[in-house]
Structure 1
Amino acid sequence: MRKKVKDQMLELAEKLGVPVFEQISPLNALQFNYLRTIDLLPEMIIMMRSLVAKEAFSFRREPITVIKNGLLFSFQNVFNDGQENVADLASNLQQERSHVRITPLHMTSEVRFAKQAHIKQITIIIEMAYLIRFLGKDRQPFGYLFDAESTFWIEEFMSPEIASCIDQMLNSSNTISFPDLFYSMKALELLYFLFNNLSRRESVSHQQVTRDEINKVYEVRNAMAASLDRALSISELVKISGMNELKLRKVFTQVFGKGLYAYFQYIRMEEAARLLREEHLSVSEVGYRLGFSNLSHFGRLFEEHKGMKPKKWSSQNH
């Protein structure tokens, strides 16, 4: 089985035109729990996979050439592959928050795996012209995605609609009728929900970004996420980024779709919801853990993000 997975990955890399796995060694560091590819080329290819990195490593991913002008949509860590239910594994696994990433196929990137990184992905690689046919005149607000020469990196939050659609894709029967039609329709449904979310992002004039700038705003984002009980000052964030304040604000908003303060409050409330749902903490315990001395303020902020008071939300989500 292990050899079969290696062969599948090598075959896939060759098909995509990416010479990443010419050496087998990176594959030896990955434990694949699930792998499936739906080949709908020349317009689209869908990959569903779950893996755990046994060792920390990185590799340079070269441009994907199977489609000349295309986009890569990666839906990360939104489904349960069963590893979370294995007690001796779950405590050691490292997993990012659920999110979606969008990049152009011509972009080179450095892919890093931390030891015990738990990656669960659905990736859609799609031809720009094919996607534009479905968007029609509605593509105008998303022109930054369809510039064949543009270099960008977009991260978007996961929505319940996207999570539900992914669940349907993963839990469909292997004997489903017309699988190519089913998966192509589900992929387009995922993109429909994603573009609906993108339409609500904070407006910003898109500009070319460098790999270093992307890395720096992720360092800023990670610092914010590690300090949910205290908002880092703008001077602290500027120091982390190595950019001036205006540049930091522009690049951060372009990548994450929200300004610094709005993003911080969003992930703060997402963590509040997680603590209520998964750790069953009381509203006051959650508020104090996240640095709120005024629980009324916490309640108002939570309601703004979730549509109801935290106590009511907790009772409905246990």
Structure 2
Amino acid sequence: MGMPASEFGNTLDLLRLNEIHIVDMLPEMLLMIRSVIAKETFTYRRKPIDAVKKGLLFSFQNIFSHSSDDRQKHNEEKSIQARPHIRISPLHMESEVVFPKAITITQITILIDLDFLKRFIGKDQEAFRYLFNDDKTLLIEEFMSPEMADLVNIIATIAELDILSEAYYKLKTLELLYLLFKNLSKRQHIKYQSLRKDEIAALYRVRDAISNSSEKRLPQDEMVKISGMNVLKLRKLFTQIFGKGIYEYSQFLRMQEAARLMKDDYLSVSETGYQLGFTNLSYFGRLFEQHHGMKPKKWSAQHRLKDK
């Protein structure tokens, strides 16, 4: 499904395949569940797919196993590539898949026929028309919500089914797509445009720089220099791919990191705020509550209690 072993070339030696499971529901859709571990961090460029004439590829990437060792390695990985996320791309577009070193990664990939997807969405499809223009080169990336993360782990760990296995996988796959499109419906309404490969690469360089600057805001001049774009173009295209403005995206990452520091590293609220560059803890608390629905002290107490 877009990534046969023969296409990996010499990089195949860097991968250990723990599991691969393909559920062929074509011509409507195809589901692949793959669990691998890489000896060294490397990037693989996926070639265009021709399994269906017109379709989309939904790649649920970097789903970490629940083992404590993998969670620790995940926490130590600073790159945004380590965060569970979804990439949506047309089948004719090449894309990159990153395999981090020594971390067991489970990926779920859904290939779906465009006409079938439109029928599934029904009367609400007009809101997602930008995804259905097969002539444009669009790349959409979305963070994985807790609901989606729970469901992908259920799908990834389904035991062998003797009865109605295809029906069960189809049900869960459509449920996952429903959750994803519910998230996509909250995106800012903008006019989408086709992107060149160099523009996509530039936007990901900016995204990575933002991710690696969680302790302070990345200066606008630096982002302009990294991207090679003017400010207006950078802001527009960044929002198109990632669904959030640059400042909003940066704050989202900082609040996700704040939650991780309190939950996994057992930092206090004040320690967390100062580590992330906040000098005003009241402002940090308000921002955290906006993103997580409760004040950081209460959130920390609840989540530490769950882990006991």
Superposition TM-score, scaled by structure 1 size: 0.88
Superposition RMSD on alpha carbons, in Å? 2.3
The reply on whether 1:235 has 2:221 as its aligned counterpart is: yes
Change (3 A) 1:112 1:266: closer
Distance in 2, matches of 1:257 and 1:69, equals 24
User: Which of 227, 243, 247 is the equivalent residue of 2:233?
Assistant: 247
| Distance in 2 (alpha carbons) for counterparts of 1:91 and 1:77 | 13
Q: d(CA) in 1 for partners of 2:168 and 2:89?
A: 25
- 2:65–2:71 Cα contact (<8 Å) kept: no
Stretch deviating more after TM superposition (228-237 or 23-32): 23-32
Task: Map Cα deviations across residues 223-263 of structure 1 (whole Å, 9 max, x no partner).
Answer: 11111111012111111111111110011000000000000
Q: Structure 1's 263 and 129: CA in aligned 2 closer, same or farther, altered over 3 A?
A: same
Tell me if structure 1 keeps the 8 A contact 2:74–2:82: no
| Structural mapping, 1:162-181, within 5 Å | 162-175=148-161, 177-181=163-167
Segment of structure 1 superposing worse, 19-28 or 138-147: 19-28
Separation in structure 2 between the aligned mates of residue 130 and residue 58 of structure 1, nearest angstrom:
31
Contact 1:50 1:120 in 2 (8 A): yes
Shift of 1:209: 0.7
Deviation at 1:92, TM superposition (A): 8.4
Q: How far is the alpha carbon of 1:43 from its aligned partner? A: 1.2
In structure 1, the partner of 2:18 is: 33
Per mean C-alpha deviation after superposition, the further-off stretch among 116-125 and 70-79 is: 116-125
Does 1:182 pair with 2:165? Answer: no
The one of 275, 281, 306 aligned to 1:295: 281
Q: Cα deviations across residues 113-150 of structure 1 (Å, max 9, x unaligned)?
A: 45546532111000001111111120101101101211
Distance in 1 between residues matched to 2:295 and 2:148, nearest whole Å: 24
Q: Where does 1:101-250 land on structure 2 (aligned, <5 Å)?
A: 101-111=87-97, 113=99, 115-116=101-102, 118-175=104-161, 177-250=163-236
Distance in 1 (alpha carbons) for counterparts of 2:47 and 2:71: 35
What per-residue deviation string (whole Å, max 9, x for no partner) do you get for residues 168-225 of structure 1? 2123331352110000111100000000000001221100011111111111111111
Other-structure match for 2:58: 73
Residue 37 of structure 1 and its aligned partner are, at CA, apart by 1.0
The one-letter code matched in structure 1 to 2:95 is: S
Kept after mapping to 2: 8 A contact 1:219/1:241: yes
> Structure 2 counterpart of 1:287, which letter?
G
Q: CA deviation at 1:56?
A: 4.7
Q: Pick the aligned partner of 1:50 from 27, 32, 35.
A: 35
Specify the code of the residue in structure 2 equivalent to 1:77: N
Change (3 A) 1:22 1:239: closer
When residues 266 and 23 of structure 1 are mapped into structure 2, their CA distance, relative to the original with a 3 A threshold, is closer
Aligned sequence identity (%): 51
Aligned residues: 302
Give 5+ residue unaligned stretches, structure 1. Answer: 1-11
Q: Distance in 2 between matches of 1:174 and 1:256?
A: 36
Q: Which of 275, 278, 294 in structure 1 is aligned with 2:261? A: 275
Could you tell me the TM-score, scaled by structure 2's length? 0.90
Letter of the structure 2 residue corresponding to residue 32 of structure 1: L
Amino acid at match of 1:303: E
Give the drift of 1:91: 8.9
- Rounded to whole Å, the distance in 2 between the matches of 1:26 and 1:249 is 35
